[in-house]
Structure 1
Amino acid sequence: MLKLFRLTAILEGISYIAIFGFTMPLKYWAGLGCPNKPVGMAHGVLFILFVVLAGILCWEKKWGIKRFFIFFVASLLPFGTFYVDKKYLSNLT
């Protein structure tokens, strides 16, 4: 479960950077909206998966609501999931 959560955290962070760093500028500055839909869908699915897995992992490990809240807020911030992986998850594996 922890490996899946770490992978999801990294992929969610990459998708966040991809949508707001690449596809949104392409959409609004270059008029190319095509890549925005699939990348946005992937980001949305990964975001939901990250939050659900964070809840399950916090429940299983008895980490409490504070750590879940940190994970949730990190999922809303650019590079936040990378921070979660580095600070909370990398030393557990």
Structure 2
Amino acid sequence: MDLKTASAIRRLRLVSVPEGISWIVLASCTVIKYTVASGFDVAPVLGPIHGVLFILYVLFWLDAWNRTKWAKGTGAMYFAYSIIPGGGFVAERRLRREAEDAVIAARARKEGVVNA
């Protein structure tokens, strides 16, 4: 994995958790607004924050998809994680594993280790 690909995955990992948190908080506050406290409206504040994080996620997702050459299904799966509540946490965990596996594979190639 080259440096630009690793950086693209890292950026996607870094924005996925805050995007997931903002999605859950915004959805929770909306439910509270319409069920418990009718005067409780944080959407004017949280909405734009979540919007910026979502746009960053999509931009970083496009960059990572372009650089890693993921299959269409894998790319679609990572996009779907931005829509599913809490999906950002799953995306971060999978991307971290993918990056760790790439580092292990690169070290094995460097040392000349071949799987049997």
Is TM (by shorter chain) over 0.5? yes
In 2, Cα distance between equivalents of 1:73 and 1:18: 18
Alpha-carbon deviation of 1:74? 1.3
Counterpart of 2:22 in structure 1 is: 15
**2:29 maps to 1:3:** no
Q: Give the counterpart letter for 1:67 in structure 2.
A: T
Deviations 1:11-51, CA, capped at 9 Å, x for gaps: 10000111012x21342231211x21111111111111111
SS at match of 1:24: helix
Q: Which runs of 5+ in 2 are unaligned?
A: 1-7, 101-116
Deviations 1:32-74, CA, capped at 9 Å, x for gaps: 11x2111111111111111111111110111132222111111
Q: Give the counterpart letter for 1:59 in structure 2.
A: N
Counterpart of 2:51 in structure 1 is: 44
In 2, Cα distance between equivalents of 1:75 and 1:67: 13
SS at match of 1:90: helix
Counterpart of 2:87 in structure 1 is: 80
- Over the aligned positions, Cα root-mean-square deviation in angstroms equals 1.5
TM-score, reference length from structure 2 = 0.70
In 2, Cα distance between equivalents of 1:26 and 1:63: 39
In 2, Cα distance between equivalents of 1:67 and 1:44: 23
| Larger Rg over CA atoms | 2
Residue 25 of structure 1 is aligned with which of 7, 27, 31? Answer: 31
Q: Which runs of 5+ in 1 are unaligned?
A: none
